Amino acid sequence: MDSALIPKGVKRCSLGLFTLGIAVAGAVLLWGVYAMLLCWIKGLNQTNMNDYYGFALWIWADLAVIALGGGAFFTGFLRYVIGKDELKNIINYAVIIGFICYSSALLILAIDVGQPLRSWFIFWHANVHSMLTEVAFCLSCYFAVLTIEFIPLILENRQVDKVPFFHNLSHNMHEVMAIFAATGAFLSFFHQGSLGGVAGVLYGRPFGSREGLLVWPWTFFLFTWSAAACGPCFTILVTWITEKITKKKLVKDNVIRLLAKISGWMLATYIIAKIIDTWYWATVTAPSMGFTLMDFYSNNAFYGIWILVLEIFICGIIPALILITKTGRNNSKLLMTAVILAVIGVCINRWVMVLQVMAMPVLTFENWVLYIPSWQEVATTILPVAYGVIVLALAYRYLPVFPQEKELNPID
């Protein structure tokens, strides 16, 4: 029924099956929208946040999706600025994933603030000293860039492309895409960094606080670095999941391996920097504030030292070692294990830099607090996942996302 919209030379599942899949994701989406409306109408009392846990699940989700969406800016940077031409075969998907991640982050932020209608105050009454101000400006600008990068792909839909104006617009936008990719990389460097700075500048919170360079704490650079390392891993992971669902090879192995190799070296260098940062923090920064490393981890099992081991060793060193070796990259099981570990690792990093910062008491007569999110928080955090699935499904079905799909899956 919708065959006129499907790109030529590729095969898609039946409209019925597609609709069923969209309906399942749509049901989850509606559940999230219901929770979102509850939060907007009744207020943040719908959450289990409190005055000790002012930042919680949503801020973690925000930081995590932005890190994972980092695949868009870094792949774009490699493709258009560095000139890694092979990556043209995955850049479309990286941009769509980035678009989903960033639009989700903006939506979550809109739910997370106590007075959403005043959100524009961040631009109007901007405090230039605040990392969050930098986040707001760069995030919004980069989302606009991602939208600009996404538009030409939408215009390539078979029916839209028939309109001469859209055809020419799409062509011309492709011509200048390098400028947008470079702008995006520049903006991303700052907002990924400022998100790291959000915790790093909290000099009243010893768990997050870091020294740094000029006005930027070390976490500023670490966040950008880790997003550039793990974002492409997420792009690879989503591509792999898409291939499993569609039962098709969509991107050639050499493209995936090239991205994995660059990602691996970024991860390896990042994890060295992260280890140095952790060591300095544990031996110099924290003791100057009266804390030992174990003061940060020893209170309960949930916030135990295992989380540091998991983040740095299991989800940092191991995937980096796999990805920088040819044998590791050429073994698809090892490759996917590394990619999954790297994605988990960056999510754990964002988790501790939000949740553990809040959980740890600073006053000697206060206690650790534990936090369990309400169902409304969980539903609104899952909402972007459902939204992402729907956007990806629609894009895959109706747009020429993967340039190598025809070649890899010839129709008899």
Partner 1 sequence: MKKEHTHENAKKFGMVIDLDKCTGCGACMVACMAENNVPFKKDESEKLDSITWIRVYKLTNGKSFPDTEICYLPKPCMHCSGIGEHGHSPCVSVCPATATDYDHTTGIVSQIYTRCFGCRYCMAACPYHARYFNWWDPVWPEGMEKSLNPDVSPRMRGVVEKCSFCFHRYQAAMDKAYTEGRRELEEDEYQTACTQACPAGAITFGDLNNPDHKVHELKKSPNAFRLLERLKTNPKVYYLSSRDWVRKAGDNYLEAENKVKKK
The footprint of partner 1 (CB under 8 A) covers: 43-45, 49-55, 112-116, 118-119, 121-122, 124-127, 129-133, 136, 198, 201-206, 287-292, 295, 357-358, 362-366, 369
d(CA 226, CA 346): 7
Q: List C-alpha distances in Å: 231 to 93, 283, 327, 379.
A: 12, 30, 22, 24
Output the smallest distance, CB 323 to partner 1, in A: 34
The count of other CB atoms within 10 Å of the CB of residue 28 is 17
Output the smallest distance, CB 89 to partner 1, in A: 39
Contacts of 252 (CB under 8 A, 6+ apart): 89, 404, 408
d(CA 211, CA 288): 12
Output the smallest distance, CB 292 to partner 1, in A: 6
- Contact present, 1 and 398 (Cβ < 8 Å): no
Output the smallest distance, CB 58 to partner 1, in A: 11
Tokens read off for 265: 């070296």
Angle CA(65)–CA(66)–CA(67) in degrees, nearest 5? 90
Instruction: CB nearer to partner 1: give 137 or 186.
Output: 137
Instruction: CB nearer to partner 1: give 130 or 325.
Output: 130
Output the smallest distance, CB 194 to partner 1, in A: 10
Nearest to 109 by CA among 152, 142, 139: 139
Instruction: CB nearer to partner 1: give 288 or 332.
Output: 288
Nearest to 75 by CA among 60, 103, 97: 97
d(CA 222, CA 85): 27
Output the smallest distance, CB 166 to partner 1, in A: 38
b/e 156-170 (16+ beta carbons within 10 angstroms → b): bbeebeeeeebeeeb
Output the smallest distance, CB 106 to partner 1, in A: 14
CA contacts within 13 A on the Cβ side of 384: 25
Output the smallest distance, CB 285 to partner 1, in A: 11
Instruction: CB nearer to partner 1: give 82 or 215.
Output: 215
Question: Helix, strand, or coil here: 362?
Answer: coil
Output the smallest distance, CB 124 to partner 1, in A: 8
Instruction: CB nearer to partner 1: give 135 or 255.
Output: 135
Q: Which residues pair with 216 in a beta bridge?
A: 213
Contacts of 80 (CB under 8 A, 6+ apart): 177, 178, 181, 182
Instruction: CB nearer to partner 1: give 177 or 201.
Output: 201
Nearest to 260 by CA among 215, 319, 201: 319
Instruction: CB nearer to partner 1: give 130 or 404.
Output: 130
CA 75 to chain centre: 13
The count of other CB atoms within 10 Å of the CB of residue 383 is 24
Place of tokens 């990805």: 323
Output the smallest distance, CB 50 to partner 1, in A: 4
Output the smallest distance, CB 367 to partner 1, in A: 11
Instruction: CB nearer to partner 1: give 44 or 173.
Output: 44
Instruction: CB nearer to partner 1: give 30 or 362.
Output: 362
Instruction: CB nearer to partner 1: give 287 or 403.
Output: 287
Instruction: CB nearer to partner 1: give 172 or 288.
Output: 288
